[in-house]
Chain A
Amino acid sequence: MITGARHGKLSGLRRLTALAMARDLRAFLVPGPDIARAHGLDIEAAGMQIVASPRHASVLLVVGAIPPPLREAAAVIYAQMMRPRALFVLGSDELDQLPEADVRENLSQQYLIKGVRRLRTAFAEGAFRSDVADFDAPMLHARIEYTCPMHPEVVRDEPGSCPKCGMNLVAREAQAPAGHTHTDQQEMIVDADMHATSDQDHAGHHGMDHDTSAKYTCPMHPEVEQNEPGSCPKCGMNLELRESQGTKSHEDAGINPDGDHSGMDHRLMDHGDTAFMSMIDVTKDLPRSSDGLPMDWIDVPFGPFFPGLPGGLLLTLTLDGDTVAGSSVQTLGGNEELLQHSAMDSGSFIERLARVESLAPVSYRLLACRATENAAGVEVPAVTACARVGALERERIASHLGWLALFGQQTGFDWLQRCAASLQLKVQNAGIKQVLALKPDMEFLIKRLQRTPLLKSRTAGIGRLAPNAALHGPVARAAGISNDARSTDPSYSALRFTPVSREGCDAQARLQVRVEEITHSLALIAAAGVIEPPTPINIGEASGAGEAVVETPRGVARLRLTLEKGRVIAAQLETPSTHHLALIDPLIQQLALGDALVAIGSLDLAPWEVRQ
């Protein structure tokens, strides 16, 4: 039995299709394949195919705990999936926005395989049912509001006539939540924008009441703002309507705020009153692109579960044709509180940090360990420090391989995706012998990358970033800056470490730096001779303030914390992705969509570590 069964009796031919569906499970991953791999899951080996669009998925696979904004986005994805559909949850128990999970298992490969087996049975037995309930959640409903065609500031919840001119008000969809209405079982109509918890959706949910999406402000005194129309207390001018933030950006981008949040409502087709559709008339109000060609600009959400971007990242691009004219980027995965309570004991603080930063758990565990040790004034023996280097470098290899897999996925380079992903899974938790034994495989991968046609044209000159202080990690090293927290680390100097660096400043240089760092880290591991994940040292009842830096795979992370009697009472984390997130907008201006995604991908963002 599955809750998302399709309506109908399970008999005859349907039994056959149910069996076929049970064999052919296609999963849409939340938050994304990158997170699944970081948790050591091999979805395809477990017998499910990963698909890029929720329309093609039969299983929504939620990996690990996800924060509320992502749950809401996941519910929209679930609604976009075609029945029969099932919800498969790994290692998470609070998913309030989504329906009851059909299969729930622990977060490991073994349980994943077990869960897939259970899912197959559930599909075979319950893909069709005569008593199915619709999935319904508040964010799926469109709110209809009524407005006057002449006076856009008049917005009412009920139909009626305009108080200013007496015209009949016309219905339109409110900006707030993404729309979704049901007609019947066969033809459920779901919003066409994929993966969209649209930007307005979120603007609407950030501390704003849905009913007061409009604010009135004085044209001369922008600081004057109120919910009702009226006159300005400073200059007496009539206040003007200013719509909520989501809409505002539409106006800035010059898009007709017609209520359709995708901005492309076949509007040009709907001019029923004009027999001849003049292109000059149609395009006269449209913004001009850099090439002077007027086009319909559209806002397109990419994420938070977009196949070519790290899971949890929500990117909204204003596209002019397929050129990026504007963008906004935010993380729905990050900004998690570091401290769960006002004071956590250091051991559970370390565990928590490692769990929250699930894309680089070893680095952040090490960071937390070092910071507490520094605060408590404990010295770590050189042997332990060296073993930690091994673990950190192993994670760097795994992380760069994961990046290569995501890059392969984004650019349709299937071989790279498969090869890098399987190596990542093998390296991730391997002992030193296995890691060193994988060296030929990695060298083969690297050699083949150097000979790949089209790879150069795909990356060269894209996403150019001049050297500056906001760059971290491989991104900085690809711009010729060899700032690397490892350079000053005594345990690295003992291994004769020198950072890799390149001058290209573009996506190609970043790719090369990461690839070289893989071999580089292998050499460091061989020199260290031991891999041991950092374990917290007993610090007893120590008090004090401490600070530590770790060169994570994405760049320098810095943690400051304060201890009081062995408990962490304050913590402040600085991460590379936070800086890199702010670089995106200028980076992708006027790039074609494909190039813009490569440019963003080349930064290797981890939405989970962003703090703003």
Chain B
Amino acid sequence: MTTALVLLLLAAGAYLVAVLEAWTASGRFRLAAPVVAGIALLGRESIVPRKPDRIFFEVAPVLLLLSALLAAAVVPLTPDLIITDLATGALFINAALVYVLVALLMAGWGPNGAYAMIGGWRFLGQLIAYAMLIVMPITAVVMRAESLLTTQIVASQASLWNIIYQPLGFVLFFVAAMALAFLPPFDLPTAKGELAGGVEAEYGGVRLAVFRLGRLALIITLAAATVVFYLGGWQGPWLPPWAWSAIKILAVTATMLLAGHAMPRIREADLLGWCWKLGIPLALLNIFIVGILVLALP
């Protein structure tokens, strides 16, 4: 029952993300656009390119969707609305999202097209940049909560949200989450003007629909994770918990989507350079500061 409800909410969330994404990309707000685009995609042919790696080509979109859903399974929307409150929840999110990389590499290799393949390799480089900045801020969050349970992490922020307790960690995690969801300006694997769509370029019809759905689910899951880790989850005055979760998640999603359209795509070398030379030292500093705070404050 909970599972079905969470999945339903996730689908609704993905739909709203699609509306928001179309809005930020084209400047027009149309509530029906994603449903029309989705139906049109389902009615189109889905060609398999020549000499494909058929298994990779077919599995990639499904794997992307699955990996986002797996991560969503441990994200609590209210104290009870969680598919499974794993004892290793915070770690599990990270583990599940590793398959995003696998899915994109497969989507890059599968169709035997140069643009897709370069897109896939680019995302491998991107993983090297963002991966540590997902794990290390989560470590600091977990240190404060003294638990890997995601519900416990939310509870630990009852007095003060982590965004204020550890702002540095929030910034790093937020940026890394955008890179993980390959949102602009980190859309290196799907760059339109550089790779004509990259990993998406050879997909069409149903397969493309699944791929895009997976991407939407990924964005909403990451936004939900950000809310759980840093914005106090379902907590808030007056409104019921589910409403707070919904408002916060949508606000985070909108910020993620809007940020990228006002700047050009990052250079891959810069992304790697900044993440390693700046991001990781900052993440370590964050862990250090949080460690002192945890010891010093009661």
Contacts and interface: CB of A to CB of B under 8 A. Distances in A.
Given A44-B26, A82-B45, A300-B115, A410 B201 contact: no
Interface in B194-250: 194-197, 200-205, 208
A367 B78 CA distance: 71
B40 to A, nearest CB: 4
A387 interface: no
Contact of B50 (A16, A20, A190, A414): A190
A319 interface: yes
Interface residues of A, number: 69
Contacts of A418: 27
A192 B116 CA distance: 10
Contact of B114 (A264, A410, A415, A452): A264
Given A306-B196, A452-B263, A127 B112 contact: no
Contact of B192 (A52, A188, A264, A416): A52
Contacts of A189: 47-50
A82 B265 contact: no
B49 A190 contact: yes
Contact of B270 (A44, A266, A319, A457): A457
Most chain A CB atoms below 10 A, which of B25, B263, B270: B263
Interface string A118-157: 0000000001000000000000000000000000000000
A181 B49 CA distance: 10
Interface in A442-457: 452-455, 457
A413 B24 CA distance: 12
A14 interface: yes
Contact of A24 (B25, B37, B195, B260): B37
A24 B36 CA distance: 7
B191 interface: yes
Contacts of B187: 412
A122 to B, nearest CB: 14
Nearest to A406: B193
A57 to B, nearest CB: 9
B58 to A, nearest CB: 12
B156 to A, nearest CB: 33
Interface residues of B, number: 61
Contact of B269 (A49, A188, A592): A592
Interface in B253-285: 260-270
Nearest to A189: B50
Interface string B29-45: 00001001101101111
Interface of B: 24-27, 33, 36-37, 39-40, 42-53, 109, 111-118, 121-122, 184-185, 187-188, 191-197, 200-205, 208, 260-270
24 contacts: A17-B42, A17-B43, A21-B40, A24-B37, A24-B40, A52-B201, A181-B50, A190-B47, A190-B50, A192-B51, A192-B112, A260-B51, A262-B113, A308-B193, A319-B114, A319-B118, A410-B194, A412-B184, A412-B191, A414-B25, A457-B270, A458-B267, A592-B268, A594-B191
Shortest 7 CB-CB distances between A and B: which pairs? A17-B43, A308-B193, A410-B193, A192-B49, A411-B264, A20-B39, A412-B265
Given A18-B43, A84-B44, A84-B45, 17 more contacts: A17-B43, A20-B36, A24-B37, A49-B26, A51-B197, A53-B200, A56-B197, A56-B204, A189-B49, A190-B50, A191-B49, A192-B112, A194-B196, A266-B109, A298-B114, A410-B194, A593-B194
Interface of A: 6, 14, 16-18, 20-21, 23-24, 44, 49, 51-53, 55-56, 58, 82-84, 127, 179-181, 186-195, 260, 262, 264-266, 269, 298, 300, 306-308, 319, 321-322, 408-416, 418, 452-455, 457-458, 592-595, 597
